[in-house]
Structure 1
Amino acid sequence: MFGGGGGGLNPRKMEQMMKQMGIDVEDIEAEEVIIRTDEYDLVFDDAEVTKMDARGQETYQVIGSPEQVDAGSAGGTASESDDGDAGIPDEDVELVAQRADVSEDDARDALEANDGDLAAAIGELE
């Protein structure tokens, strides 16, 4: 695209050309990237992530070597620390709240205290 794939092109010159074409490039300081599929998760630790915005169309490039893990098993720590729900699914919270006739906050607390065990949480609240 830019004369032999840009191999002989000065990076500063390449950046100027991209800006002229309306393409903005930004490096993202990513700690972890997770790609989820139905069959497995791909986990990239310390990946290089570049965001390219070409007139509103955003493209992300991830460079690194992923580890393949079981589906849904990656990334628990980020969501747990953000909202403190310890990975309890909202559906479970709603079910316990309805069955035990309590608020969703009380249901979540009971589920967390019982490691996500629905029956034990309901039993504790009744």
Structure 2
Amino acid sequence: MFGGGGLNPRKMQQMMKQMGIDVEELDAEEVIIRTADEELYFDGAEVTKMDAQGQETYQIVGEPSVRKTGADEAEALEDADDGSDDGGIPDADVEIVAQRAGVTESTAREVLEENDGDLAAAVSQLE
């Protein structure tokens, strides 16, 4: 930026301070830059904030991971991550009914499906 390739870092800091440029290293855990088509995700990047006459500039040093964005992909992630089997009943609900009623998980799942996922009705039916 300043063409000071051979200067030592302390000397460079002194020169920048004389010119009214404050430099601060930020302890950033992650940086995400979103565009219309993708996200650039920096994990553990080095981030430097420079303030020159009231104008703040951020410099990010690191290798980003690229993630595509879009409604179709977001829906696919939600569907894959809902924690349920093919029946649409969440595994956590099956475990709750199985524990409360003292039955196997397969029996609990069947009764939950019969009761459209209603936990109270399933437990009542099994007790």
TM-score by length of 2: 0.53
Aligned residues with identical type, % of pairs: 72
Aligned partner of residue 12 in structure 1, secondary structure = helix
In the alignment, what sits opposite 1:82?
none
In the alignment, what sits opposite 1:42?
40
- Residue number among 4, 7, 13 corresponding to 2:5 in the alignment: 7
Contact 1:36 1:72 (C-alpha < 8 Å) held by counterparts: no
What are the Cα deviations for residues 28-71 of structure 1, in whole angstroms up to 9, with x where unaligned?
00000000000010000000000000010000000000000122
Aligned partner of residue 30 in structure 1, secondary structure = coil
Give the stretch that moved more between structures: 5-14 or 59-68.
Answer: 5-14
Give the whole-Å Cα distance in 2 for the aligned partners of 1:31 and 1:72. Answer: 25
Q: CA deviation at 1:72?
A: 6.8
Give the whole-Å Cα distance in 2 for the aligned partners of 1:16 and 1:42. Answer: 33
What are the Cα deviations for residues 66-98 of structure 1, in whole angstroms up to 9, with x where unaligned?
00012279xxxxxxxxxxxxxxxxxxxxxxxxx
> How many residues in Structure 1 have an aligned counterpart in Structure 2?
71
Contact 1:48 1:63 (C-alpha < 8 Å) held by counterparts: yes
Gaps (5+ residues) in structure 2?
72-127
In the alignment, what sits opposite 2:113?
none
Aligned partner of residue 6 in structure 1, secondary structure = coil
Q: CA deviation at 1:7?
A: 1.6
In the alignment, what sits opposite 2:16?
18
Distance 1:72 1:49, change over 3 A: farther
Give the whole-Å Cα distance in 2 for the aligned partners of 1:58 and 1:71. Answer: 28
TM-score by length of 1: 0.53
What are the Cα deviations for residues 101-125 of structure 1, in whole angstroms up to 9, with x where unaligned?
xxxxxxxxxxxxxxxxxxxxxxxxx
Give the whole-Å Cα distance in 1 for the aligned partners of 2:8 and 2:64. Answer: 30
